A and B are shown apart, each in its own frame.
Chain A
Amino acid sequence: MYFDSLQAALEMQGHGMFVWPAYSVTIAVIALLVITPLLRRRKVLRQLEAQARRAQGAPAGRAGGER
């Protein structure tokens, strides 16, 4: 490792205040990029599943109510 201590790595001789925020924001953007579609996919599948269940259940339920 180039730096002697964690403190030195955080400070980077005064440039840490630029380098670390740049990396932090990049990590945040990448996390958003990867997690958002995963969550959206799960949501879409759940909605479709609920829709399918309603479509299956609805005709029988309505018919039962009329009788």
Chain B
Amino acid sequence: MWPIFHKLGSPPWLYAIAGSILRWLLPITLLALVTGAVWGLLFTQPERIQGNSYRIIYIHVPAAVVALAGYYVMALAGAVSLIWRMKMADVAMKAAAPVGAAFTFIALFTGAIWGKPTWGTWWVWDARITSMLILFFLYLGVVALYEAFDNKEAASKACAVLSLVGMVNIPIIYKSVDWWYALHQGATIKFTGESSIDSSMMYPLLLMIGAFYALFTCCLLLNMRVEILQRESRTQWVKKLATKAGRP
């Protein structure tokens, strides 16, 4: 347990391991995304009531699920960096924020488009949608707050606190469809009890959820690698890496 913890704190090790993970994870992720999208778009039946517009589910739900999961990653990294002063956890928190914002944006945007043919409106201040919008602003808040400080240590602390306080929003998003019954429908895939979605639609959806999780991981690692390089730019290993990369 402890050796891995120490290694995770080592920038060159983390940089290298992230690189070797990305080498196979990124191609697999992109392949899974294309497969899932083509499957959902062209090879499934239309939904009985919503018709073909329901096909947006294959990007909307995965993006929303991972936007929430990404917040856990960011807040957890923030907590670790706050409590144990672990530099690489701070790198992870900073790297997660823009990715989470992008996923939340995808969920909100595709949701708005889906709303038009289904509910007759692009936007409604429904509890689920409003709390997702708050999630979007929390992610953007962390990005902006980080840039607002000249002192990186103060920035790191402030962002960690903000992301931890923002955790309050997460259970609200989960429960919003049960607490305030409005336009947004409830969950159709359930871990306990029977799912109310047909298996022919569930399999491509599960594939897409998996692919979006993998995509989040890839983007997180990609951003972390850049951040590590920038922070460690004065160290010998980065200088060596730069001269090697610069050679024709």
Residues of A within 8 A of B (CB): 1-3, 9, 12-16, 18-19, 21-23, 25-26, 29-30, 32-34, 37-38, 40-42, 44-46, 48-53
Do the beta carbons of B56 and A19 come within 8 Å of each other?
yes
Question: A15 contacts B52, CB within 8 Å?
Answer: yes
5 contacts between A and B (CB under 8 A): A22-B110, A25-B110, A44-B226, A51-B242, A52-B242
SS of B interface (majority): helix
Within B18-54, the residues touching A (CB, 8 Å) are 26, 33, 37, 41-46, 51-53
B152 contacts the other chain (Cβ, under 8 Å)? no
> Across the interface, do B33 and A37 meet the contact criterion of CB distance under 8 Å?
no
A22 touches B233 (CB 8 A): no
Main secondary structure of the interface of A (DSSP, over half): helix
B130 at the interface (CB under 8 A from A): no
B106 contacts across to A, CB distance below 8 A: 25-26, 29
Are B246 and A45 in contact, with the CB atoms below 8 A? yes
Count of CB-CB pairs between chains A and B under 8 Å: 112
Please name all residues of chain B whose beta carbon is closer than 8 Å to the beta carbon of A19 when the two chains form the complex.
41, 52-53, 55-56
Residues of A within 8 A of B26 (CB): 34
Kindly identify, within residues 135 to 163 of chain B, every residue whose CB is under 8 Å from any CB belonging to chain A.
none
Which residues of A have CB within 8 Å of B41? 9, 19, 23
* Contact A49-B245, Cβ < 8 Å, known A1-B43, A2-B43: yes
| Interface membership of chain B positions 217-246, coded 1 if the CB is closer than 8 angstroms to chain A and 0 otherwise | 011001101100110010000110111011
B215 within 8 A of A: yes
User: Which of B4-12, B77-85, B111-119 makes up part of the contact surface?
Assistant: B111-119
Q: Is the CB of A48 within 8 A of B53?
A: no
Partner of B113, one of A2, A22, A34: A22
How far apart sit A48 and B218, CA to CA, in the bound complex (Å)?
Answer: 24
In angstroms, Cα B55 to Cα A21, docked, is 12
Give the residue of B52, B55, B219, B245 whose beta carbon is less than 8 angstroms from that of A33.
B219
Q: Does B59 contact A (CB under 8 A)?
A: yes
Q: How far is the CA of A11 from the CA of B233 in the complex (A)?
A: 52
